[in-house]
Structure 1
Amino acid sequence: MPRAGPACMTCREKCRKCDRGRPSCQRCISKGLVCQGYPDQFRFCGIASRGKWKNARIPVSEKIVQQVNLNPVSLTAAQSMAVTPAATIISGGSLTPPTPASVTRRSKRMTIESVLEKQVPEVGDDIKSLLAAEQTKTLLHHYDTFMAPHQIAELGDEKDNPYRAYILPLAKKQIGLLYAVLGLAAVHLGKLTDDTTLVKATSVEYRVKAIRALSEKIRKGQNTSLSDEEEDGVFATIQILLLHDIAETGISEHGIHITGAMSVCKSILISEGFNGRRQRAVFFIGNLAWLDIIRAFAGTRRLCFTQDFREMIATASGHRFELVNGCPREIFLIIGRVLDKAKEYKMGWTTDEDFRSTLMSAKFELHAWDAKSKTYPSSDPRWISVAIAFQFACILHIHRLLNPSQPASSPEIQTAVHEILDATADIPSDCTLIELMILPLFMAGADSLSRHSQYYVLARFREIERRSEMRNPVPADLLKQVWAARAAQGASHEHEGNISWRDFTCCPELPRQHDYLII
């Protein structure tokens, strides 16, 4: 059955379902809103317009699955179809955000979902021969010596760094995790050395094999019980695949990875819950739960983990949670409760009064939270600045949930922005803690109005990139789109409503939204 066309501009801005009524959307009319009309249809490009596959013809979709099974490396070409908006639309005095970059640049890799839809042949157990290969040794050395130290603050090169102590021994036993680590190391090393073969062929091939092995393991877990080692291998593989997303585009397409971990997480809860014996599992699941929070910042419907789950994680994980993610566990629980209620409200499961009451209570709790009285992973006083930055980043997000149209110039918005920027200024570029600050900097940047504060945010992003040699393009790209749209709005003098960064991460044409990993 053919589609009825794109959603109206009002429903697109609010990221909600549209009935596509003509000339006006009945959903808007029933809500007492002005329907702003419909955008031009998208045009599909039959030839790739840039990159390695420039001027190459795009294979039809039916061939993609065949090519995945025959030759994983050809996936880069098979999925490079571009979808571009035919025109920029300005209707009813408001600027319509452009289609997200995740839609205009189709994936160069296979997602877990596409693998699970089709039975995949079992991956052979060739760990010994793979570990003996020179390329494997080079990539594992790069991961161990260069990448792992940047994944957790302060521990860095220590032997008990869990990205070494947990992942590398598991990878030598779990073929899927080994493939995932090799894929991550290949894309990272390839970008450092400008080796396009590593980036566009080797990393893609390893990634495809990792996803195939992962899908087999998840399928096995649905029929029989997985061992502790197998379960931990699943969690570690998913986290490494997410780090691959961050290193490549910053976007995890269709939100598959985090959601896919839940069936295994639930089996652990049913069988034994979280305890000291499963610290390795607690470490990985805690990181996935924080990434779940981050993706829910872009859209509350994406939230997957429950508050009960988060409370168990906060109790069991210890300070390693902060060392990896930066956010204090108390704030993690507060914002988790907020996002749970926001999701209920979006889904129509709670009242406006209950929603606002919960958010106002959380905002008061966050303002009362005293960073100086808390304990941190070490005695370094700059941990207080990290905590304050996350504290006000969450306060800022609550403001936006309560009133999405509140102008960025509002005093309470700017107070939160200044608190974040001042806290970040206490952390020098040579301090390992600066690598934890991407999310707070991004939240402050989204509501920064002056050019010097915007410049400061981008400068700090560049410092973080130079430290880790890991560039996540999403934060800076989203901020530049917000600032450009806000500048255009100011030039038109039409109205003073807010322009939200979340508008640039939502595409109604996608049945399942992408995850924007702002870390």
Structure 2
Amino acid sequence: MTRAGPACMTCREKCRKCDRGRPNCQRCVSKGLVCQGYPDQFRFCGIASRGKWKNARIPASEKTALPSPPGPSPPGLQTTTITTSQESTPPALVVPRTSRSMAIESVLLQPVPDVVDELESLLASAQTKALLHHCMFHESIHDSLMAPHQIAEIGDEQDSPYRAYILPLAKKQIGLLYAVLGLSAVHLGRLTDDRTLIETTSVEYRLKAIRALSEQVRKGQNTSLSEEEEDCVFATIQVMLLHDIAESGISEHGIHITGAMSVCKPTLISEGLNGRRQRAVFFIGNLAWLDIIRSFAGTRRLCFTRDIREMVASAGGDRFELVNGCPREIFLIIGSVLEKAKEYKMGWTTDEDFRSTLMAAKFELHAWDAKSKTYPSPDPRWTNVATAFQYACILHVHRLLDPTQPASSPEIQAAVAQVLDATADIPADCSLIELLILPLFMAGADTLSRHSQFYVLSRFRDIERRSEMRNPVPADLLQQVWTARAAQGPGQEGNISWRDFTCFPELPRQHDYLII
């Protein structure tokens, strides 16, 4: 049997499956990494991993592509396998090897060839129809959109911001459509255990989305983007982050959120944002919340400014809570806490100023009354969601004040109990349960009893069953914390921080852990 050939050096170092694309591994490119190359002179033609062309190899110098296997792709979900055809498969794209760690700027500003407007033909392809059908698009792509996890059951038929915002943009902007197709492919591949969808189709669409995003950003440097084009950039970045969550729960090197901030700055400087641009406010608000989440793992990662968070809170309306769960007041408080913690880590403020700010924030969080607030719907369980986020943030403030405080501390355990009690009142068949991964994770990191740990993992399984999406990061991190804590000897009660398992000193730019 002919061997497929060795993996690229980058995939070898990361101990992951390589697609062996030439001249660059497309899996590396889609992750914003530089493919370090191969030890021989042969490559796959395309990225076939199964079917008629599995294990096919030709000399690297040859450019002729192998034809696709015959037969049309099905238009719907009658089959779970979607083959990659000539009409929808992007060709391999070359990315220069500029450095070992590629930041968002170098990814997005790559020169790209002229892009022919292929939106109409892409929408007409059988593969696109099947993937959009999986996303709950009607075949006419006019009526509805439901992408996995965050997009699932957010709002009703008229109220869903994804249905109102992403659908019209994806119909007009091919880069966003590529991003949605990539997300749908990886999600469907996970559900059906179809490795081709996960390792080939989704990677190719993701690469095309990155290239389209690159072109938009490059255009924005030379001319002013229209509001629709700017909003498409924000939407594409958010969908690609959902792709990261669906694939691994980790956004490598933090390129997407940091890149979103670099796009935000010119827009805010030139005209500012207000309630008039609700679509832009919605996307920026979601990205600002993801910026908060990644900063839980390391305060230096915070990049969105206080002005942006305040704009989101004042102009975003209750759609912020509808999608992200966290009340806007809590969002602002914890944002200020993380901003001060970043200043302290960077040596820009004193220990006294840092502790004073955090103590004031802890008092404000405890005084916040979830029952007196208004929520996106009359469902009384919104109060439980708010309480869970309130005490999850209180836990994080405790950890910023004293990282060594034992988990057995009475005030730590009191906050843990508040989170677990609040989440216990939300049944598995309620859509609100999908908003609670972060609070459950924060409480789980400080649980001491095995039955509490079992409860947290059970709730994660409830969320996975309901959303049909598994973000492996929360449970994996908790298992590492619990294992390390169980290994402590008698009398050793020092804290085991989950953040110890998310930091890699050898990386100049840390990965983003997206615990949602």
Q: TM-score range by the shorter chain?
A: 0.7 to 0.9
Q: Which amino acid aligns with 2:476?
A: D
- The answer to whether the 8 Å contact 1:287/1:325 transfers is yes
1:132 aligns with 2:106: no
Q: CA deviation at 1:192?
A: 1.0
**Residue of structure 1 equivalent to 2:383:** 384
In 2, the alpha carbon distance for the partners of 1:466 and 1:44 equals 34
The match for 1:237 is 236
Q: 1:315-360 CA deviation, whole Å, 9 max, x = no partner?
A: 0000000010000000000000000000000000000000000000
Instruction: Return the offset for 1:160.
Output: 3.4
> Is the 8 Å Cα contact of residues 109 and 214 (structure 2) preserved in structure 1?
no
Residue number in structure 2 paired with 1:500: 497
> Which residue pairs with 2:67 in the alignment?
none
Q: How does 1:279-358 map to 2 (within 5 A)?
A: 279-358=278-357
Q: Is the Cα–Cα contact under 8 Å of residues 122 and 216 in structure 1 kept in the other structure?
A: no
1:480 is matched with which residue? 479
Distance in 2, Cα, partners of 1:140 & 1:311: 35
Instruction: Report the alpha carbon displacement of residue 49 of structure 1 after superposing the two structures with TM.
Output: 6.4
Following superposition, the deviation at residue 53 of structure 1 comes to 7.2
1:470 paired with 2:474, answer: no
Distance 1:272 1:252, change over 3 A: same
Q: How many residues align?
A: 435
Contact 2:149 2:468 in 1 (8 A): no
Match of 1:105 in 2: none
* C-alpha distance in 2 between matches for 1:114 and 1:209: 16
Alignment CA distance shift 1:277-1:46 (3 Å): closer
Could you report, residue by residue, the CA deviation over 1:362-403 in whole angstroms, capped at 9, with x for unpaired residues? 000000001111111111110000000000000000000000
Contact 1:148 1:164 survives alignment (8 Å): no
**Is 1:214–2:213 an aligned residue pair?**
yes
Q: Could you tell me how far apart the structure 2 residues matched to 1:480 and 1:114 are?
A: 36
Q: 1:271: how far off? A: 2.7
User: How far apart are the structure 2 equivalents of 1:135 and 1:468?
Assistant: 23
Q: State the one-letter code of the partner of 1:127.
A: L
Task: Work out whether 1:374 is the aligned partner of 2:377.
Answer: no
Instruction: Go from structure 1 to structure 2 and tell me whether the alpha carbon gap of 1:312 and 1:48 turns closer, same or farther (over 3 Å shift).
Output: closer
* TM-superposed deviation, 1:267: 2.2
SS in 2 for 1:276: coil
2:148–2:469 Cα contact (<8 Å) kept = no
Q: Which runs of 5+ in 1 are unaligned?
A: 1-42, 76-109
Taking the aligned partners of 2:463 and 2:150, their CA distance within structure 1 comes to 12
After TM superposition, which residue ranges in structure 1, 4 or more long, deviate above 3 angstroms? 43-54, 58-62, 70-75, 110-114, 144-150, 152-157
Contact 1:72 1:204 in 2 (8 A): no
Q: Distance in 2 between matches of 1:50 and 1:206?
A: 20
State how far apart, in whole Å, the 1-side matches of 2:204 and 2:47 are: 5
Q: Is the aligned partner of 1:142 residue 2:134?
A: yes
Shift of 1:144: 3.2
- Segments of structure 2 that go 5 or more residues without pairing to the other structure are 1-8, 26-33, 50-101, 138-144
Secondary structure of the 2:162 match is: helix
Distance 1:182 1:153 in 2: 16
- Displacement of 1:63: 2.8
CA 1:120–1:281: 2 relative to 1, 3 Å = same
Does residue 515 (structure 1) correspond to residue 512 (structure 2)? The answer is yes
Structure 1 position 180, deviation (Å): 0.3
Find the residue that maps to 1:123 and give its secondary structure: coil
Instruction: State whether residues 73 and 204 of structure 1, in contact with CA within 8 Å, keep that contact through their aligned partners in structure 2.
Output: no
Contact 1:183 1:204 in 2 (8 A): yes
Other-structure match for 1:190? 189
Structure 1 residue 275: Cα displacement? 2.2
* 3-state SS of 1:512 partner: coil
Deviation at 1:511, TM superposition (A): 0.4
2:414 maps to: 415
**How far apart are the structure 2 equivalents of 1:122 and 1:483?**
52
Could you tell me how far apart the structure 2 residues matched to 1:309 and 1:71 are? 46
Query: Is the 2:19–2:47 contact (alpha carbons within 8 Å) kept by the matching residues of 1?
Result: no
Q: Which has the higher helix share?
A: 1
Bigger RCO (CA 8 Å, 6+ sep) = 1
Q: Which residue of 1 aligns with 2:439?
A: 440
Which string of whole-angstrom CA distances, capped at 9 and with x for unpartnered residues, describes residues 89-121 of structure 1? xxxxxxxxxxxxxxxxxxxxx984553464232
Q: For each residue in 1:15-37, what CA deviation from the matched residue of structure 2 results, as whole angstroms up to 9, or x when unmatched?
A: xxxxxxxxxxxxxxxxxxxxxxx
